[in-house]
Amino acid sequence: MTENNTILDVVKLTKIFRDFWRRPTVTAVDGLDLSIRRGEIFGLLGPNGSGKSTTIKMLLGLLHPTEGSISILGGRPSDVAVRKRIGYLPEASYLYRYLTPRETLSFYGRLFDLPAAERRRRTEELLAMTGLESAADRAVGEFSKGMARRLGLAQALLNAPELLILDEPTSGLDPMGCRQVKELLRALADQGTTILLTSHLLADVEHICDRVVIMYNGRPRAAGALQDLLATPERMTLDLPALDAAATKRLLAVLREQLACEPELSRPTMNLEEFFVRVVNEAAEDPSPANAAGPHMAPFLKQ
Amino acid sequence: MRNRILGIAGLTIRQAIRSRFVISLFFLLLALLAGFALTIKGDGTAAGRLQMLLSYAMGSVGVVLGIATLWLACGSLSIEIENRRIHLVVVKPVRTIELWLGKWLGIISVAMLLLLVAGLFLGVAGHIARGRSHPDSPDGRALRDRILVARQAVSATRVGSQDGAAHWLLACPAAVSAQGVATLRYRFVAHLRDLPPVTGRWTVRTPDGATLFETDCIASMDGVNQLDIPLAALRSTTALDLIFHLQPAGEGTPQHVTFHPRHDVVLLFPCGTFAGNLMRALLLMFCQVALLAALGLTVGTIFTFPVAMFTASALVLATLFAQFFVFSSAPERSHAHEHHHHDDVTHVTWTETVGEHLAVGLRFAMAPALRYRINGRLAAGETIPWTEVHDCAGILIFCYSGLLCALGCLMLKRREIALPV
């Protein structure tokens, strides 16, 4: 990777919150260094209060760093030209409750200065992609958390962003929705979109992230490619088709001879999410709105 | 830029409508206006009733709409900052000025809509009053010539007294219509209440002494007196000489009168229609409401909603009452100053001094914004010229609102939007 491929460069980022009298109350982020490359899915992990959301808000210009520097898409977070190229999904979907999804997307489209025809096209494509077509004219105030989340994701993709910043993108979604979002994010990353996300659902992060940083009390505690961080060189897994009892016994005997310890034999299982998706897909004879929101991508995002 | 501003304005209007703010205010205004129309009796004449309706209605609409606009404006940004909906807007390529202007345009559009409703109601009320009264009856004539008309007020210049008569000079407007009447308006100083009316004679002459119009009159000692002069009599001249002869009627009636020094003798010439005047009055009110919207929005960028509403209301009240602080504190101060030399010192505390200076400063700063009167003039059939509307728009919208816009944008730019409130 060359330097030009760096989308986000954060150096010694620090945020100290202060009270009314300017006395420091808490150091939310403490000397964070971060560099994200184009086309990467980067995970920002950590328990509650570890500084993930504060970091994201500083990257977006919603909070001002106490110390350190941020270079995002070659500019500062407050640059209008930079904001044109960013999509953002906040931790809660801060949508206008009196608007319908169609009006919501049209409004945010206007903020990106999209021409009316293009705005309409993208709105319809995103509504289809997120499975909100049938609810397109209902007030957002009536939506469930999952539906609001889908609309939040749609508005984040409205400008076909180069950098997508997602705070808990799968929170509130059902397993089908979670899977679709993960597939969508993977497809977007394959096309060159850079994604920075935070999540408490570590399985989600493990499935889709290329690199992660784990934060605790505002400080990065571990960072790197997932493959490197999760590798266990002292252990090995042998993946075989199921053997009969006699063959298994012979194999274990051979292994016992080679190893100093007793080998562990188990049958691999699907994870619950895979099983759930298989059952629901088999059960769904008619395409429900959730199923209609398939893993397909809005055509304008493919361009 | 235009797209973004209009988008934010449209959102503000939609929110105001769908949150039932507009509909509630619409029915409140209608109820208020209908209540006035049904209950006001005035002096029993159609002209008196309509005059009072116009005066009360315009005043009430101004107050209700002013408070509602301030409320809407104070909450527009501060509530969105509190509930964090603003996060999804400010991370888009929106400049702070676009955000401020969009909100402001949305709020003043809502105010404009409601003002139009009030204007339409008053226009219809005027039309009905005209239709119900006979055009040749005294009441019908008063309605037509004094209320449902726009009249240009020309002040007369006192040139002294001669042979017990008071004299004024007055320049006629360039174009005087041949039909209708001009109204002479004057007022006496009355030191006692319930004085009997005085009788006198008004004479209108050309500067070279030719009499154009002459009439006896019975004038009230307190209140405003009005005298109609046919315009046909005034057409041939560009200047007028006005003369008043007091004619004491007998014992118990005033033997001399003093014209009120702060109320000029004024001749009102018809120069336009009531509909046009009502529209200009509404435009003046719109400019004032637009300034309140700007104030509310800017204060809302600094404080949370309740604090913003309190602060903005306090600023408006302080501005309106600044003159009373100045008047009430000035005599005390001079009084204290006199006593200082006699060692009987009544101290002027530093808080009084600071308060007075603040009041004087506020009054000085806001004086240009406070000089536009609306309802009294509309109800008196006095014209509100277009030049005044232009001035008002320039001062209230471009100067004051522009300054508030700059301040609001600066605050928005400097503020950390995501900080907990």
Which regions in chain B score pLDDT beneath 70? 163, 175-178, 249-254, 323, 325-347, 421
Within-domain flag for A52 = yes
Query: Model confidence over A16-32: pLDDT tens digits?
Result: 999 888 898 889 999 99
User: Which two three-digit tokens encode residue B168?
Assistant: 């004024």
> Across A63-193, where does the E strand assignment appear?
67-72, 86-89, 163-167
SS3 B96: helix
User: Which two three-digit tokens encode residue A94?
Assistant: 């801060």
Res B277: pLDDT: 92
Residues of B with CB below 8 A from A95's CB? 85, 88
User: What does the alpha-carbon distance between residue B234 and residue B240 come to, in Å, rounded to a whole number?
Assistant: 8
List the 85-104 stretch of B: residues with Cβ below 8 A of A.
85-95
DSSP string spanning B159-208?
Answer: EEEETTEEEEEEEPPS---SSSEEEEEEEB--SSSSPPPEEEEEEEE-TT
Strand partners, A215: A220
Question: Which amino acid type is present at position B348?
Answer: V
Residues of A with CB below 8 A from B84's CB? 90, 92, 94
Query: In the 8-state DSSP scheme, what is residue B270?
Result: E
Res A2: pLDDT: 42
- Using alpha carbons, select from A125, A111, A108, A107 the residue that is nearest to residue A300: A125
Query: Model confidence over B258-310: pLDDT tens digits?
Result: 888 777 788 888 888 899 999 999 999 999 999 999 999 999 999 999 999 99
Q: Would you kindly state where each structural domain of chain B is located, as residue ranges?
A: 2-132+275-301+376-414, 151-272
User: Which two three-digit tokens encode residue A251?
Assistant: 């194999």
User: What does the alpha-carbon distance between residue B221 and residue B188 come to, in Å, rounded to a whole number?
Assistant: 6
Q: Which CATH architecture is the domain B151-272 placed in? A: Sandwich (2.60)
User: What does the alpha-carbon distance between residue B217 and residue B247 come to, in Å, rounded to a whole number?
Assistant: 10
The answer to whether B340 faces chain A, any CB pair under 8 Å, is: no
Query: Model confidence over A59-100: pLDDT tens digits?
Result: 999 999 999 999 999 999 999 999 999 999 998 889 999 999
Cβ(B289)–Cβ(B65) below 8 Å: yes
Structural domain for A218, as ranges: 3-232+272-302
User: What does the alpha-carbon distance between residue A112 and residue B344 come to, in Å, rounded to a whole number?
Assistant: 72
Domain total in chain A: 1
Give, in degrees to the nearest 5, the angle at Cα A128 between A199 and A287. 90
Question: Given an 8 Å threshold on Cβ–Cβ distance, is B14 in contact with A88?
Answer: no
List the 11-40 stretch of B: residues with Cβ below 8 A of A.
11, 14-15, 18-19
User: What does the alpha-carbon distance between residue B42 and residue B48 come to, in Å, rounded to a whole number?
Assistant: 5
Query: Model confidence over B353-382: pLDDT tens digits?
Result: 787 788 788 878 877 777 888 878 888 888
Q: Is the pLDDT of residue A146 over 90?
A: no
User: Which two three-digit tokens encode residue B320?
Assistant: 């309106």
Nearest-Cα distance to chain A for B122, in Å, is: 33
The percent of residues in chain B predicted with pLDDT above 90, rounded, is: 39
Residues of B with CB below 8 A from A64's CB? 416
Rounded to an integer, the average pLDDT of A178-193 is 88
**Cα dihedral B361, B363, B366, B370 in deg (nearest 10):** -170
**Cα dihedral B214, B218, B223, B227 in deg (nearest 10):** -30
Q: Which residues contact B316 (CB under 8 A, 6 or more apart)?
A: B66, B70, B292, B295
Query: Model confidence over B35-59: pLDDT tens digits?
Result: 998 898 877 788 888 889 999 999 9
User: What does the alpha-carbon distance between residue A237 and residue B2 come to, in Å, rounded to a whole number?
Assistant: 62
Which residue of B1, B89, B91, B94 is the best one to mutate when testing the A interface, meaning the one whose CB has the most A CBs within 10 A? B91
Strand partners, B382: B151
Within-domain flag for A258 = no
SS3 B145: helix
CATH of the domain at A33: 3.40.50.300
Res B69: pLDDT: 95
Within-domain flag for A263 = no
Residues of B with CB below 8 A from A66's CB? none
> Which residue does chain A place closest to B18, by CA atoms?
A98
User: Which two three-digit tokens encode residue A285?
Assistant: 């004879």
Question: Given an 8 Å threshold on Cβ–Cβ distance, is B7 in contact with A155?
Answer: no
- Using alpha carbons, select from B153, B135, B155 the residue that is nearest to residue B144: B135
Nearest-Cα distance to chain A for B74, in Å, is: 18
Q: Which residues contact A4 (CB under 8 A, 6 or more apart)?
A: none
Residues of B with CB below 8 A from A139's CB? 18
Cβ(B12)–Cβ(B76) below 8 Å: yes
User: Which two three-digit tokens encode residue B233?
Assistant: 């009599």
The band of A255, judged by pLDDT with boundaries at 50, 70 and 90, is confident
Cβ(A211)–Cβ(A224) below 8 Å: yes
Res A109: pLDDT: 95
Question: Given an 8 Å threshold on Cβ–Cβ distance, is B94 in contact with A111?
Answer: yes
Within-domain flag for A54 = yes
Res A1: pLDDT: 42
Res A288: pLDDT: 53
